[in-house]
């Protein structure tokens, strides 16, 4: 047993790099630098004079829409959706459909309102598509911020642990336990953000007001509005832990008269890690962006063909 533990300890020392939480924050902060248009968005500059034969879709969202972690700009869902709409949608007098990626990293609904005010008059969209990741109704909007306090607590405890400081085999075991514990805390933070008390649900209630404001501002300009729900890509089985939140957000949208499309059914049954940028970054990778774009296509096409969009 002593020999076996000694061998295991030696292997652990050779393979151990750094604690998982350090690698997680590091990867979250290492997003590829990408070209920006005149509005600082991850997209090319659009024509200020809107062609008569062009229809336009403005997508508002966070880092999932931005495409954090995916270096290939052509592989993120706003670009994939634009190509599919232009190639497959046949509308009288329309030869091109342009999609503007309004994804802002680390943003919440209040930031989307500001971006709408900034670009809507110049871009003149026919459709406003709001992509709502479940995090956007919570106060866990920044991974480094969320883990800041947790990380300090873990660091302090580990510094006090003689076993952790001297045994790399124990480090691997303890890091695994810590990772599961933090994951559970993150999940609880999501649930209380939507179903907790008044203080806990403050961000979700603010998000609802902002979404209603976006709906009204778009309708004032005769712009069709739709909301897409992007689920958390973990445990994508029959007991998906955030299904209740997806249903809750969808119920809100329907009650507000906003057409809604939930991406969850298209992700269920898949292996979640296969859809991540990396083991330490759960942003959707190129495969997940393809799934999202294919799922959104019929929904966005229907919005473009709606009486409101046609009237515009």
pLDDT one-digit tens code per residue, 24-67: 555 555 555 566 888 999 999 998 899 999 999 999 999 999 99
pLDDT for res 16: 66
By DSSP bridging, strand 281-284 and strand 276-278 are antiparallel
Any idea which of 1-5, 142-146, 236-240 has the lowest mean pLDDT?
142-146
Any idea which of 146-150, 157-161, 190-194, 302-306 has the lowest mean pLDDT?
146-150
pLDDT band at 135 (very low <50, low <70, confident <90, very high): very high
What is the domain partition of the chain in residue ranges?
A: 2-12+143-191, 27-44+51-141+200-311
By DSSP bridging, strand 127-133 and strand 224-230 are parallel
Report which of 70, 43, 67 is spatially closest to residue 125, judged by C-alpha positions. 43
Indicate whether 284 pLDDT > 90.
Answer: yes
Can you tell me the mean pLDDT for 206-228? 97
Cα distances (angstroms) measured from residue 312 to each of 18, 213, 308: 55, 20, 6
pLDDT for res 93: 79
pLDDT for res 26: 56
Indicate whether 212 pLDDT > 70.
Answer: yes
Neighbouring C-beta atoms of residue 110, cutoff 10 Å: 13
pLDDT for res 85: 93
CATH number, domain 27-44+51-141+200-311:
3.40.50.1110
pLDDT one-digit tens code per residue, 169-184: 777 777 667 666 666 6
Mean predicted lDDT score pLDDT of the chain:
86
Any idea which of 61-70, 140-149, 166-175 has the lowest mean pLDDT?
140-149
Do 53 and 94 contact (CB within 8 A), yes or no? yes
pLDDT band at 21 (very low <50, low <70, confident <90, very high): low
């Amino acid at each position: 047993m002593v020999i076996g533990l000694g061998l295991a300890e030696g292997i652990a020392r050779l393979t151990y790099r750094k604690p998982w939480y350090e690698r997680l924050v590091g990867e979250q902060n290492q997003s590829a630098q990408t070209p920006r248009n005149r509005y600082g968005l991850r997209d090319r500059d659009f024509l200020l004079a809107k062609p008569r034969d062009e229809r336009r879709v403005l997508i508002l969202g966070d880092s999932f829409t931005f495409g954090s972690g995916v270096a290939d700009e052509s592989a993120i869902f706003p670009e994939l959706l634009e190509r599919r709409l232009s190639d497959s949608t046949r509308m009288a007098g329309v030869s091109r459909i342009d999609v503007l990626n309004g994804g802002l990293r680390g943003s919440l609904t209040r930031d989307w309102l500001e971006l709408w005010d900034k670009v809507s008059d110049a871009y003149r969209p026919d459709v406003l598509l709001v992509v709502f990741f479940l995090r956007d109704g919570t106060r866990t909007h920044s991974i480094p911020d969320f883990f800041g306090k947790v990380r300090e607590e873990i660091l302090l405890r580990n510094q006090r642990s003689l076993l952790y400081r001297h045994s790399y085999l124990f480090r691997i075991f303890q890091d695994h336990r810590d990772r599961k514990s933090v994951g559970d805390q993150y999940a609880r933070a999501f649930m209380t953000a939507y179903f907790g008390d008044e203080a806990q649900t403050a961000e979700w209630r603010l998000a609802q007001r902002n979404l209603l404001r976006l709906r009204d501002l778009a309708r004032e300009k005769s712009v069709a509005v739709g909301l897409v729900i992007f689920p958390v890509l973990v445990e994508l089985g029959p007991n998906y832990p955030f299904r209740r939140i997806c249903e809750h957000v969808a119920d809100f949208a329907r009650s507000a008269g906003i057409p809604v499309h939930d991406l969850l059914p298209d992700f269920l049954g898949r292996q979640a890690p296969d859809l991540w940028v990396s083991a330490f970054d759960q942003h959707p990778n190129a495969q997940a962006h393809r799934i999202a774009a294919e799922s959104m296509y019929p929904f966005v096409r229907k919005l473009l063909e709606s009486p409101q969009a046609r009237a515009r």
